[in-house]
Structure 1
């Protein structure tokens, strides 16, 4: 007999400003399709199977300004935070940086690994990973493991790899 395997998969929270592409990203991961999305009120949740043995429960939480105070209610049992940034929208990167800093300051996220997804990399003039990393002040987060990866939810590029990396970050933490 091997050891008992718990049926619950690690909880991953998907956060970011409204219009960063979180719901598109989740629907693309779960169905392989891009669905018409509208602003998320509350949350979407789905189970992402990475391989036969590994799945992640992904919570996509609405990012509109009025919703952000509620983010803290989704942090219980969170084992990784995936923060989605619209890399084609430099005008909102400071807002994204503040939102990220605020959520990471919650004690429930102490030591929880962070994956930043620079979404919409398929668009012309999108910011580089380095620019986004610096704008978000990622190098200052020395108390947690973090990674940043580029992706395009619309094209489905980089998503599977990103969540494989998220799974590795969870295993290391």
Structure 2
């Protein structure tokens, strides 16, 4: 009976969960955001500042903040961290030269006080491109197995087709269930 009540109650609650989508410029953050909203590829230009959209998936309301990844904007990422439950870090799996920079930004984020309870989903984007790094290679380069104070998951994806994106949201949904 309790489970039935919980399921019915969840249909009427307005609980929302804040997600910040970050990554270096040209990683595919905005393309991913609009795949969630419209299920199609939208022509985008570099994000100057942020985009914020509500995404409802399986009766879960997410407020997703897509933050620009240019070097000049990265210093301001921390302004968006307050009340963030999940970070989605988007990695361009073809950008081998800047993977160390992504690692540095990830570890800087993980040490931020406002993110001490946040879980991290890493999207290994552009898996459709021949010669891209695999999620295992990216995991190794980012030293993900060294993350001990945060729940994390790496997910192969292609923002252009949507492949892998909803598996990432499923992981987030399971994290939310585990917390309640």
TM-score w.r.t. length of structure 1: 0.93
Equivalent in the alignment of 1:57? 63
SS at match of 2:138: helix
Structure 1 match to 2:132 = 126
| SS of corresponding position for 1:60 | strand
Number of the residue aligned with 2:112: 106
C-alpha distance in structure 2 between counterparts of 1:36 and 1:28, whole Å: 11
1:93 aligns with 2:99: yes
Q: Secondary structure at the match of 1:67?
A: helix
Structure number having the greater helix percentage = 2
Q: Once the 2 structures are TM-superposed, how far is the Cα of residue 77 of structure 1 from its aligned partner? A: 0.7
CA apart distance, 1:6: 4.6
Q: Which runs of 5+ in 1 are unaligned?
A: none
Q: Which runs of 4+ in 1 moved over 4 A?
A: 1-6
- Give 1:24-173 correspondences, 5 Å limit: 24-51=31-58, 53-173=59-179
Deviations 1:45-103 (A, max 9, x none): 1111112x212111101111100111001001100111000011111100100111111
Unaligned runs of 5+ in 2: none
Alignment partners' CA distance in 1, 2:47 and 2:176: 26
Whole-Å separation in 1 of the counterparts to 2:164 and 2:93: 14
Give the aligned length. 172
Structure 2 residue 28 is matched with structure 1 residue 21:
yes
Distance 2:16 2:170 in 1: 14
CA–CA separation in structure 2 for the residues paired with 1:15 and 1:87: 15
Report the 3-state secondary structure (helix = DSSP H, G, I; strand = E; otherwise coil) of the residue aligned with 1:78: coil
